[in-house]
Amino acid sequence: MKGVPATPSVPLGVQDEENSQLDRVHSKAVRRRSLRLLGSTLAPLRATFVGTVVLVVIAQATRVLGPALIALAVDTALPQAQAGNWGPAIWISGGYVLAAIVAGATTAAFIRLAARVSQTVLLDLRQRVFGQTQRLSLEFHESYTSGRIISRQTSDLEALRELLDSGVTSLASGFLYMVFTAVSLFVLDVQAGLVLLVAAIPVWLITRWFQKRSQVLYRISRVASARLIVNFVENMTGIRAVQAFRREDANNARYGALTEDYRANTARTMGLNGIYDPALQLTGNVTVAVALAFGGFRVLDGSLEVGVLIATLLYTKRFFQPVQQMAMFYNSFQSAAAALEKISGLLEEIPTVRQAADPVPLPNAKGALRFSDVEFGYGAGKVVLPNLDLDIPAGQTIALVGQTGAGKSTVAKLVARFYDVTGGSVTLDGVDLRELASRDLRRAIVMVTQEAYLFSGTVRDNIALAKPEATDSEVEAAARAVGAHDFILALPDGYDTDVNKRGGRVSAGQRQLISFARAFLADPAVLILDEATSSLDIPGERLVQRGLQTLLADRTALIIAHRLSTVAIADRVLVMSDGRVVEDGTPEELIAGDGRFAALHHAWEDSLV
Ligand SMILES: Nc1ncnc2c1ncn2[C@@H]1O[C@H](COP(=O)(O)OP(=O)(O)OP(=O)(O)O)[C@@H](O)[C@H]1O
């Protein structure tokens, strides 16, 4: 195509991964990317890989010796044996047995070696996919659903496993077997070789036809199976909402449609096999018949020996055997290739939030934050923060308030560097967050969200998440500080209660208390609480507030809360509206004024009466 670059200048990544009709340039780039990935996983295994290839070659070469030895036995050894000379017959029989033993032994060896290669490659890929999904920024995960990641990690790697376990060696050995068989045939009898060559033309044509069709179908099939998984995961993660809103029937219909797509596509794939396999068999049988008729006449007129005829027939028949097997594995090859394309796309993604090449260390952050001329929008979406200037001295407790969608969480996410600003800068103790070493950033700034996620394990493990080396008394002290100690003790096994086991399940409010204890134990210079007290009841919140006040005393804190009781403990309140700070002052100052916060506060006070 004119004007189209040979390779796209920007890495494609996961973009277009559901497109089964890629243009030539992209399709080539994707294929190259897959091969590069495969090459890089094979690189450390080069010696084993080469060893496997050598063994496959020896195994196939010795396998094809059989018919040639039979021809030799029939045409040479047999007449000599009839004349009383058994030497050639013994030699040939011995050679036949030896070839069989070598073929068997090398086959056994290459299967073992190939298994080692395939398992190591898979292990490497599994770890790379997992590592990459952890490394990729929040922005990526917000659009690339967990269902899609699960299908990369499960069904795609499974497709590769299928191919690597047995398919690759079958394809390689089948191909070599065919080449050696054809060469032997030509060496033995050129005319029989020519018959095979003619037969290879229709075989080539139908194989090309099959390849083209099945490639498209397999791509579609991978997309359909990934969609199934995505849909399943989404419904299972949102099962509460599904049941609460009686979505079961609609979901069944949607899932039914997706499975139907998958079924229809698989049926079309199998339909292709249903044409390809018999066509191959027919070609093979017709070729043997032609070779027999052609060779038979030549035997009759004495221009061909019987042993050579037998051998040529055996070769012709055997030549087509691996084609069928290869066609079968071609399917798994297709699906593995499609899977590898997707996996390589995922691995090609570059995190949008990256560690600086030469990061600035900040082991003992004080917690001074500054937003200078900050502009920010999510992806290509509208600008959420048009121009934000903010100076937060170390140790200050800030409450961020404002209507829904004002940009409060966005400010918090920028401080935690889940996203990078699109303009201006955010600094911690004067260091741009983009320049700061990730380790120091993660240690200095901790964000607790409403979600308060608990990982499987004990309550203690969950509190000690950011500081695994914490002692039991440190864990307990953190829990006491936030008022979580008493309810934890009331759990079946106290701090050793497994949060995922029956009886160990904790309420949303208790989860928040645990994640508070976790954050306090992490002891960051900057603590962000994003709606982190929303699930606590009033006494619960009071308890936390007491803990909060002591713990926030010597650190910078950014609290986003709709409850004004939480806001009251702040040194300073920032009222946000449409991405701008519209009021800034102490709670007392703002309440005394006539701005939004004062109105909000009066309304809240009235509601308490
Ligand atoms: N991940 C995202 N991708 C695209 N737009 C987003 C994303 N998160 C938030 N927004 C948009 O950014 C704007 C500010 O959202 P933000 O979550 O910061 O508001 P908020 O003040 O914290 O609201 P709330 O009180 O409801 O939590 C909103 O218009 C929202 O639609």
Nearest CA to ligand 1 atom 2: 378
Helix (H, G, I), strand (E, B) or coil at 260: helix
Residue 46 burial by Cβ neighbours in a 10 Å radius (0-12, 13-18, 19+): exposed
* 55, part of any domain: yes
In the numeric block, the tokens 């995505």 are attached to 230
The preferred substitution site among 408, 411, 560 for testing ligand 1, maximizing ligand atoms within 8 Å of CB, is 408
Report the separation in Å between the CA atom of 409 and the middle of ligand 1, taken as the mean of its atom positions. Answer: 7
Please indicate, yes or no, whether residues 289 and 411 belong to a single structural domain of this protein: no
350: tokens are 């570059």
Least confident of 5-14, 99-108, 282-291, 303-312: 5-14
> How would you classify the pairing of strands 572-577 and 580-585?
antiparallel
Q: What's the pLDDT tens digit per position in 552-588?
A: 778 999 998 777 777 878 889 999 999 999 989 998 8
Mean pLDDT calculated for residue range 374-384: 89
Please indicate, yes or no, whether residues 198 and 54 belong to a single structural domain of this protein: yes
* 16, part of any domain: no
* 11, part of any domain: no
- Residue 170 vs residue 514, higher pLDDT: 514
Report the separation in Å between the CA atom of 369 and the middle of ligand 1, taken as the mean of its atom positions. Answer: 21
pLDDT value at residue 3: 41
Please indicate, yes or no, whether residues 160 and 206 belong to a single structural domain of this protein: yes
Asked if 312 and 185 count as a contact pair (C-beta separation under 8 A), the reply is yes
Ligand 1 site, residue 418, Cβ cutoff 6 A: no
List the beta bridge partners of residue 428. 369, 431
**pLDDT at residue 304 tops 90:** no
pLDDT value at residue 552: 77
Q: What's the pLDDT tens digit per position in 88-126?
A: 889 999 999 999 999 999 999 988 988 888 889 999 999
* 364, part of any domain: no
pLDDT value at residue 5: 45
Ligand 1 site, residue 384, Cβ cutoff 6 A: yes
pLDDT value at residue 6: 45
pLDDT value at residue 609: 58
Please indicate, yes or no, whether residues 393 and 251 belong to a single structural domain of this protein: no
Q: CA-to-CA distance for 150 and 158, rounded, in angstroms?
A: 12
Q: What's the pLDDT tens digit per position in 357-372?
A: 899 999 889 999 999 9
* 217, part of any domain: yes
Ligand 1 site, residue 449, Cβ cutoff 6 A: no
Q: CA-to-CA distance for 14 and 144, rounded, in angstroms?
A: 9
The preferred substitution site among 371, 378, 560, 596 for testing ligand 1, maximizing ligand atoms within 8 Å of CB, is 378
Please indicate, yes or no, whether residues 315 and 415 belong to a single structural domain of this protein: no
What CATH number did the domain enclosing 44 receive? 1.20.1560.10
Nearest to 556 by CA among 391, 309, 336: 391
pLDDT value at residue 374: 94
Task: Using the atom order of ligand 1, give the atom closest to the CA of residue 411.
Answer: 18
Asked if 466 and 424 count as a contact pair (C-beta separation under 8 A), the reply is no
Ligand 1 site, residue 579, Cβ cutoff 6 A: no
Please indicate, yes or no, whether residues 293 and 392 belong to a single structural domain of this protein: no
Q: CA-to-CA distance for 121 and 119, rounded, in angstroms?
A: 5
Report the separation in Å between the CA atom of 411 and the middle of ligand 1, taken as the mean of its atom positions. Answer: 10
* HSE value, Cβ hemisphere, 13 Å, CA-based, for 329: 21
509: tokens are 């409010």
- Residue 342 vs residue 218, higher pLDDT: 342
Report the separation in Å between the CA atom of 199 and the middle of ligand 1, taken as the mean of its atom positions. Answer: 66
List the beta bridge partners of residue 556. 526
Asked if 425 and 417 count as a contact pair (C-beta separation under 8 A), the reply is no
Ligand 1 site, residue 405, Cβ cutoff 6 A: yes
Ligand 1 site, residue 404, Cβ cutoff 6 A: yes
Ligand 1 site, residue 578, Cβ cutoff 6 A: no
Q: What's the pLDDT tens digit per position in 249-293?
A: 999 999 999 999 999 988 998 898 889 888 988 998 999 999 999
Please indicate, yes or no, whether residues 260 and 389 belong to a single structural domain of this protein: no
Dihedral sign for Cα atoms in the order 180, 184, 190, 195? negative
Least confident of 93-97, 162-166, 177-181: 162-166
- Residue 253 vs residue 505, higher pLDDT: 253
Close Cβ partners of 22 (under 8 Å, ≥ 6 residues apart): 16, 30
ipTM of the prediction? 0.95
Nearest CA to ligand 1 atom 25: 404
Strands lying side by side in the sheet with 423-428: 383-392, 369-377, 423-428, 431-432
Mean pLDDT calculated for residue range 337-342: 87
Mean pLDDT calculated for residue range 419-431: 93
Ligand 1 site, residue 142, Cβ cutoff 6 A: yes
Please indicate, yes or no, whether residues 486 and 574 belong to a single structural domain of this protein: yes
Q: What's the pLDDT tens digit per position in 585-602?
A: 998 888 888 888 888 888
* 358, part of any domain: no
Nearest to 121 by CA among 80, 85, 167: 167
**pLDDT at residue 485 tops 80:** yes
The preferred substitution site among 141, 353, 384, 578 for testing ligand 1, maximizing ligand atoms within 8 Å of CB, is 384
Please indicate, yes or no, whether residues 304 and 399 belong to a single structural domain of this protein: no
Nearest CA to ligand 1 atom 26: 404
Amino acid letter, residue 226 = A
Least confident of 216-220, 474-478, 504-508: 504-508
pLDDT value at residue 540: 62
- Residue 393 vs residue 539, higher pLDDT: 393
**pLDDT at residue 4 tops 50:** no
543: tokens are 């308890």
Domain holding 342, by residue range, is 24-348
Close Cβ partners of 123 (under 8 Å, ≥ 6 residues apart): none
Report the separation in Å between the CA atom of 404 and the middle of ligand 1, taken as the mean of its atom positions. Answer: 8
* HSE value, Cβ hemisphere, 13 Å, CA-based, for 437: 11
* 361, part of any domain: no
Report the separation in Å between the CA atom of 378 and the middle of ligand 1, taken as the mean of its atom positions. Answer: 9
pLDDT value at residue 19: 66
Question: Cα–chain-centroid distance for residue 532?
Answer: 31
Ligand 1 site, residue 378, Cβ cutoff 6 A: yes
Task: Using the atom order of ligand 1, give the atom closest to the CA of residue 576.
Answer: 21
Helix (H, G, I), strand (E, B) or coil at 107: helix
Ligand 1 site, residue 402, Cβ cutoff 6 A: yes
Going by pLDDT thresholds of 50, 70 and 90, the confidence category of residue 319 is: confident
What CATH number did the domain enclosing 583 receive? 3.40.50.300
Strands lying side by side in the sheet with 397-402: 445-449, 526-530, 556-560, 397-402, 572-577, 580-585
Count of domains forming the chain: 2
Please indicate, yes or no, whether residues 150 and 250 belong to a single structural domain of this protein: yes
Please indicate, yes or no, whether residues 450 and 420 belong to a single structural domain of this protein: yes
Asked if 318 and 102 count as a contact pair (C-beta separation under 8 A), the reply is no
pLDDT value at residue 14: 75
Domain boundary among 315, 348, 381: 348
Phi-psi region of 407 (alpha: psi -120 to 50; beta: other; left: phi over 0): left
Instruction: Name the average pLDDT for the chain.
Output: 85
**pLDDT at residue 1 tops 60:** no
* 392, part of any domain: yes
In the numeric block, the tokens 């999510």 are attached to 378
Report the separation in Å between the CA atom of 360 and the middle of ligand 1, taken as the mean of its atom positions. Answer: 30
Please indicate, yes or no, whether residues 432 and 579 belong to a single structural domain of this protein: yes
Report the separation in Å between the CA atom of 206 and the middle of ligand 1, taken as the mean of its atom positions. Answer: 56
